[in-house]
Amino acid sequence: MRRVLVTGASGFLGAHIVARLAADGMQVVAQGRDVGRCAALEAEGHAVVRRDLSQPLDADAGAAFGELGAIVHCAALSAPFGRLADFQAANVTATRNLVDFAHRQGVRRFVQISSPSVCFAFRDQLGVPEDMALPEPVNAYALTKRQGEEIVLAASGIGPVILRPRGIYGAGDRALLPRLLAAARRPLPLFRDGQARIDLTHVDDVVEAVVAALEAGSSADGQIFNVSGGEVLPVRRIAETACARAGVAARWRKMPLWPAMLAAGAMEAVALRLPGRPEPPVTRYGLGLFAYAQSLDISKAARMLGWAPKVSFEEGLDRTFGKAAESRFAAGRAAA
């Protein structure tokens, strides 16, 4: 395979993918916007291009990225709240620009990192398959990731593959576990007598899924694959175990769900009217993760990609909080 472009390489998942592909001997070019993290990638010997993908990719981009055989598109704005225009620029316009660029460059495999948030609904959903009819988007992130999927899947000439990894965590995580630990400074909400369950995914398993998608034959073209750790665990257990590893005492407070949802909706409505539309302290989507049972059917990835998760939740926490990973995770938590 020729050179592989990894977008969003200055982010958590993208950096892990760059490291793995380079270790496998592939020629990798990393795209990112964070100056400090791009500099760190360069210091590790990786080819790095700093470029805003929401701007058209012209001939100069072709010269900067080089002759490409594949693209792994990780770059995205991922947040439970924000300005729709910002999500559209990062998740829709950037994806369209990159797909157009891939066509012009003759790319033969385009792996899009999407999200199971496109499937999220305020109800229990266990064993969700890839072909489930998608519900109304729960937020701007889910809406624009869904639109990004549609753009990629319509581009049949570039070997499109969609991956939907659930709840990625690991050493260097700057989102999932840091947000959880920050929330645990106050009592966590216990809804519906603790019925909420979910399947998370260690970053190493997501990287393996990306490698499998890159190596897959033409039968994978135009396919969507769920990716998760395969363990559907109580959210209470996840929170308490992760907090214990981080030296944080998790506390819980039983709460009725719908009054909390109404309050969160009011906070969102106020935030939408404030300058910059700052993320409110609580969002309906965030509460939903603490309220409902959610899991993915990952059997399709096993059948068509030969991929299956290898990292259990307990082992994933070892890799995240172990001595070798402790400093990197701490840095990610501080940056969150």
Using DSSP's 3-state secondary structure scheme, residue 4 falls into strand
Q: What mean pLDDT comes out for the span 283-307?
A: 97
pLDDT of residue 186: 92
Could you tell me the CA-to-CA distances from 162 to 11, 85, 214, 220 in Å, in that order? 19, 23, 11, 9
Residue 336's pLDDT band, with cuts at 50, 70 and 90, is: very low
40 exposure class (CB count in 10 Å sphere: 0-12, 13-18, 19+) = middle
Eight-state DSSP code of residue 293? B
Using DSSP's 3-state secondary structure scheme, residue 69 falls into strand
For residues 230 and 199, the answer to whether their CB atoms sit within 8 Å is yes
Q: List all residues 6 or more positions away from 319 whose beta carbon is below 8 Å from its beta carbon.
A: 170, 171, 202, 204, 311, 325
Q: Which amino acid is at 43?
A: A
Residue 61's pLDDT band, with cuts at 50, 70 and 90, is: confident
Q: List all residues 6 or more positions away from 135 whose beta carbon is below 8 Å from its beta carbon.
A: 119, 120, 121
Q: What mean pLDDT comes out for the span 276-303?
A: 94
Using DSSP's 3-state secondary structure scheme, residue 120 falls into coil
CA-based nearest residue to 257, from 294, 295, 292: 292
pLDDT digits (tens, 9 = 90+) for 239-280: 999 999 999 999 999 999 999 999 999 999 999 888 888 899
Helices (H) and strands (E) in the chain, counts: 14, 15
Distance CA 231, CA 181 (A): 21
pLDDT tops 90 at residue 197: yes
Could you tell me the two tokens for 291?
Answer: 């309220």
Distance CA 26, CA 206 (A): 18
Which residue's entry shows tokens 């979910």? 198
pTM over 0.85: yes
For residues 6 and 21, the answer to whether their CB atoms sit within 8 Å is yes
Could you tell me the two tokens for 185?
Answer: 């400074």
7-11, 54-58, 139-143, range with the lowest pLDDT? 54-58
Strand duo 160-165 + 197-198: pairing: unpaired
Residue 1's pLDDT band, with cuts at 50, 70 and 90, is: low
Could you tell me the two tokens for 28?
Answer: 């990798």
pLDDT of residue 99: 97
105 exposure class (CB count in 10 Å sphere: 0-12, 13-18, 19+) = buried
Distance CA 144, CA 76 (A): 10
Eight-state DSSP code of residue 52? -
Q: First and final CA of the chain: distance in angstroms?
A: 36
For residues 145 and 96, the answer to whether their CB atoms sit within 8 Å is no
Q: Rounded mean pLDDT of the chain?
A: 92
CA dihedral for 269, 271, 276, 279, sign (positive or negative): negative
